Amino acid sequence: MRKLARRLQSAVALLLIAACSAADLAAPDAPTVPPTLGDAVNTARTFLDAWTKNDFNTMYGLLSPRSLVISREAFSAAYQQAEQTLNLFGENAKRFRIRDDQTQRQGNTAIIRYDMTFNSRFLGEFTDAERTMRLLLTDRGWRVAWSTMDIFEGLAGGAQLILERTPPLRGSIYDRNGKIIAQDDVPNYAVRLLTRRYPTGNPDDCFRALAETFRLYIGDFEQYRPFSGRDFGFTVGTLFRSDYEALRPRLDQVCFLQYVPQTTRFYYGGNLAAQTVGFVTPLQADQQANFPNLAPGSLVGQFGVERAWQEQLSGESGAELLIRTTDGVTVRTIHRKEAARGQDVYLSLDRELQLKTEQAIAAAYNEANWAPLRNGAAQARLVTGAAAVVLDVKTGDVLAMASFPSPHSDAWRIGTTWDAADVIGRYFAQRAVVNHATEELYALGSVMKIVSTAAAADSGAFRMNETRVCKGTLKSPDDGRILTDWIYLEPNRDPNYHGEINLHQALTSSCDIYFWLVGEKLNGIDPSLIKRYSNKLGLGVPTGIDSLVDLAGVIPDPDWTRANEGRTWGVGDSLNIVIGQGSVKVTVLQAARMTAAIANGEVLPNLTLVKKVGYPAQPPTYVAPERTPEPLGIKPEVIAGVQLGMCEVITDAKLGTANWVFTGWDHARVKVCGKTGTVQSGTPYPHGWFVAYAGLPNQPPDIAIAVLVLYSREGSETGAPIARRIIEAYYGLPYAPFPRYWADPYEVLPTPGLSGGQ
């Protein structure tokens, strides 16, 4: 029996072995170990790792059977569209972390908790935390039970993933004293002229008041006259709330106006220093590629400081990642990045002096008989234009930089009340968007005689007290023709010549004859001599001003003439250059810098416009660097002689070309020294220059000024009265009336041969 039992046990064992072998052969792929939660985690990790690599095929291959109702193409497109909305960038644009301690299994279902981190160009890096992935156990192992909610929770039922971007608050621009020049989101009023009626019955009363208020040329209001008695409206300016309250009663007495409330980036005075400070326009669609980090509708700087410091001023756009239904209901806010305001920019400008400088130019144009409306230049289609620069002699800071006429930024604003197409077209036709102080080059005329005097005396070619007889005409040492001094052809001049004068008196009287003799002698010593002294004094070289176009200009010499005009230099070239004519081209800013150099007598100042940049109540991110100015290298006695000549331009009743402009000036209160200049324009209307420096008696000078008036009259008649008013404004002096002759008919003066004028 025992043997039989042992045989049965052996047979059963053999059957069991055979059964196992048969099972293995029948199901070779059957798992030998039941799938675990760890296997599910590994599947989830493979899925997420493929997502970080944009391997959508691998991801699709891990979907559960029921999830395969979506096509491979639609699956890939869903992820690609989401990532396009996110605007991911960088090597680690996506990464994940599985929360191992929160994974769990419920029968044939595994729940995986994980965090997904994204790096978005607009949102920055953010984490969508505690996400859930569900996996099902299938005959192929664990597979992802996928839906669109695996892209983002809540993304289902036709809801869409949306990225909304928010424009930032642009930084403010302040003057040297911390007063606002430009600021975002300021309530103000667009002022519209309604032409149906005029309270006084006279449109001129209204036009005059508006031109004064908004620093406009009164001639531009003529375009509105034909609409009198008709229902038309034209925006002419903007007013800050306090100005609106102060000025409205007076304006309403002479104008029928509409005041449209608006909230915009507002510039002090409406459009203060528009070409220097610049202005902004909303970001356009065709500009988006140039400013990819800015939200649509953000403000972008155009011209001047606004453009040069765009990156700092603009700030950072905000963004919000949302899931929203088709009917506009927000299902979920995934992440929000608040907009960050821009940095503030502090300028060297003095806000009040800038405004008064602009007012001085506009007032002159509206009174003078050399303005286009009165002198015929409008009919000749000449460009109205003027510029003035005021520098701090001690520091080189730009205190004011005005260019006339001036554009208004609101004309470029979306939703503007201005007749934008017409207004912007007029601005470009008038070159109102051009900064006449830095972006254009002009002959310097007799202001160049400052340099010529310094070159003649410092080189040893002339002594300051060396005399010559100026008879009004001179036979040209170049071609033998008769050259005439500016004074020789002036009507009612008796005598019409300067007589015997020395070098500094030649500067005072602006005697062309004397300076032609200087030019001839310096040409014989070294034809490049005047250019070298011009460069010493900042002419024909960049000023180094920050944030603005900074043209170098031209002071010709033999090498330049050969290279640019293809001819040999002659003595006639020196006769031209010595009085600032011919190919001499400089900027108004260079002329002001030269004047500041003469005023301080020792160095060519480094110029500054932007003083510092930074966030409120934080250390600045930028401070204007301190730079050691270049020594002039001109003998002190020579500088003293040039200064004497310039001071007597104002004080010498016989020889001073601007003495009559400063009639009644209290020299014991403020000392002014200057130089007039007139430049032939190729028309009957020359360009008028005046440069000056001013200070308290027996004290170093405070300010240097350069004024240029295009297509006008001689510099003593145009630039000098404007400069006087600017000086009065700086020192808080009463304004003297502009010259009486400005009310008289314009008389075109004869053009002297080669003359630099007074």
Residue-wise pLDDT tens digits, 620-634: 999 999 999 999 999
The reported pLDDT for the residue numbered 752 is 56
DSSP 159-213: -EEEEEEEPPPPPPEE-TTS-EEEEEEEEEEEEEEETT--TTS-HHHHHHHHHHH
How many angstroms separate the CA atoms of 166 and 297, rounded?
8
Letter for the amino acid at 240? F
How many angstroms separate the CA atoms of 738 and 721, rounded?
7
Q: Residue 12 pLDDT > 50, yes or no?
A: no
DSSP code for 393: T
Q: Residue 640 pLDDT > 80, yes or no?
A: yes
The reported pLDDT for the residue numbered 119 is 97
Q: Residue 23 pLDDT > 80, yes or no?
A: no
Letter for the amino acid at 336? R
Count of beta carbons in the 10 Å neighbourhood of residue 511: 29
Nearest to 748 by CA among 713, 715, 720: 713
Give Dmax (Cα) for the chain: 164
How many angstroms separate the CA atoms of 692 and 676, rounded?
9
Q: 183 and 279 in contact (C-beta within 8 Å)? A: no
User: Which residues, in sequence order, are bridge partners of residue 703?
Assistant: 392, 694
The reported pLDDT for the residue numbered 361 is 97
Q: Is the dihedral of CA 13, 19, 22, 27 positive or negative?
A: negative
Structure tokens at 92: 């680690």
- H or E element: which one contains 115? strand 109-120
Q: 440 and 252 in contact (C-beta within 8 Å)? A: no
Output the CATH code of domain 37-153: 3.10.450.100
How many angstroms separate the CA atoms of 519 and 474, rounded?
13
Model confidence band, residue 267 (pLDDT cutoffs 50, 70, 90): very high
The reported pLDDT for the residue numbered 758 is 66
The reported pLDDT for the residue numbered 480 is 85
Model confidence band, residue 8 (pLDDT cutoffs 50, 70, 90): very low
Which range, of 23-37, 540-554, 591-605, averages the lowest pLDDT? 23-37
- H or E element: which one contains 197? none
Cα 178 to Cα 344, 483, 497, 619, 726, distances in angstroms = 11, 54, 52, 15, 22
Residue 339: what are its φ and ψ, rounded to 5°?
-65, 140
Label residue 128 exposed, middle or buried (CB < 10 Å: 0-12, 13-18, 19+).
Answer: middle
Mean pLDDT throughout 514-538? Answer: 97
Label residue 513 exposed, middle or buried (CB < 10 Å: 0-12, 13-18, 19+).
Answer: buried
Mean pLDDT throughout 304-319? Answer: 95
How many angstroms separate the CA atoms of 72 and 146, rounded?
13
Cis peptide leading into 405, omega within 30 of 0?
yes
The reported pLDDT for the residue numbered 336 is 97
Q: 679 and 725 in contact (C-beta within 8 Å)? A: no
How many angstroms separate the CA atoms of 322 and 142, rounded?
31
Q: Residue 494 pLDDT > 90, yes or no?
A: no
Q: Residue 443 pLDDT > 80, yes or no?
A: yes
Q: 596 and 704 in contact (C-beta within 8 Å)? A: yes
How many angstroms separate the CA atoms of 238 and 648, rounded?
44
User: Could you report the per-residue pLDDT of 583-634, keeping only the tens digit for each?
Assistant: 999 999 999 999 999 999 999 999 999 999 999 999 999 999 999 999 999 9
| Alpha helix stretches (DSSP H) within 526-684 | 529-536, 558-565, 571-577, 588-600, 636-651
Q: What share of the chain is helix, strand, coil (3-state, %, to 5)?
A: 35, 25, 40
Q: Tell me the pLDDT of the chain averaged across its residues.
A: 92
How many angstroms separate the CA atoms of 38 and 58, rounded?
20
Name residues whose C-beta falls within 8 Å of residue 420's C-beta, 6 or more positions apart in sequence: 411, 412
Q: Residue 148 pLDDT > 60, yes or no?
A: yes
Model confidence band, residue 13 (pLDDT cutoffs 50, 70, 90): very low
Residue 741: what are its φ and ψ, rounded to 5°?
-65, -15
Percent of the chain with pLDDT strictly greater than 70: 94
Nearest to 455 by CA among 535, 511, 570, 512: 535
Nearest to 354 by CA among 403, 310, 394, 314: 403
N-term to C-term CA, the chain: 148
Query: What is the residue whose two structure tokens read 């003095």?
Result: 350
Every domain of the chain and the residues it spans: 37-153, 173-319+335-346, 445-743
Model confidence band, residue 6 (pLDDT cutoffs 50, 70, 90): very low
Q: Residue 484 pLDDT > 90, yes or no?
A: no
Query: What is the residue whose two structure tokens read 């039922």?
Result: 157
Residue 188: what are its φ and ψ, rounded to 5°?
-155, -175
Nearest to 608 by CA among 305, 261, 181: 305
Cis peptide leading into 616, omega within 30 of 0?
no
Mean pLDDT throughout 500-517? Answer: 96
| Alpha helix stretches (DSSP H) within 215-300 | 241-254, 274-277
3-state secondary structure of 660: helix
Model confidence band, residue 749 (pLDDT cutoffs 50, 70, 90): low
CATH class of 445-743: alpha beta
Cα 443 to Cα 32, 278, 708, distances in angstroms = 97, 26, 11
User: Could you report the per-residue pLDDT of 689-726, keeping only the tens digit for each?
Assistant: 999 999 999 999 999 999 999 999 999 999 999 999 99
How many angstroms separate the CA atoms of 382 and 372, rounded?
8
User: Which residues, in sequence order, are bridge partners of residue 259?
Assistant: 191
Q: C-alpha angle 756/757/758, rounded to 5°?
A: 125
Q: Residue 29 pLDDT > 50, yes or no?
A: no
Residue 233: what are its φ and ψ, rounded to 5°?
-135, 140
Q: Residue 756 pLDDT > 90, yes or no?
A: no
For 435-462, give one letter per residue: b (16+ CB within 10 A) or e: bbbbbbbbbbbbbbbbbbbbbbbbbebb
3-state secondary structure of 56: helix
User: Could you report the per-residue pLDDT of 649-671, keeping only the tens digit for each?
Assistant: 999 999 999 999 999 999 999 99
Model confidence band, residue 14 (pLDDT cutoffs 50, 70, 90): very low
Mean pLDDT throughout 46-66? Answer: 97
User: Could you report the per-residue pLDDT of 355-406, keeping only the tens digit for each?
Assistant: 999 999 999 999 998 888 777 776 666 667 999 999 999 999 999 999 999 9
Q: Is the dihedral of CA 81, 86, 90, 93 positive or negative?
A: negative
3-state secondary structure of 270: strand
Q: 678 and 720 in contact (C-beta within 8 Å)? A: no
The reported pLDDT for the residue numbered 741 is 86
Nearest to 153 by CA among 275, 332, 312: 332
pTM comes to 0.88
Residue, of 293 and 163, whose pLDDT is higher? 163
Residue 637: what are its φ and ψ, rounded to 5°?
-70, -30
How many angstroms separate the CA atoms of 334 and 454, rounded?
72
CA atoms within 13 A of residue 667's CA, in its CB half-sphere: 11
Name residues whose C-beta falls within 8 Å of residue 27's C-beta, 6 or more positions apart in sequence: none
Model confidence band, residue 750 (pLDDT cutoffs 50, 70, 90): low
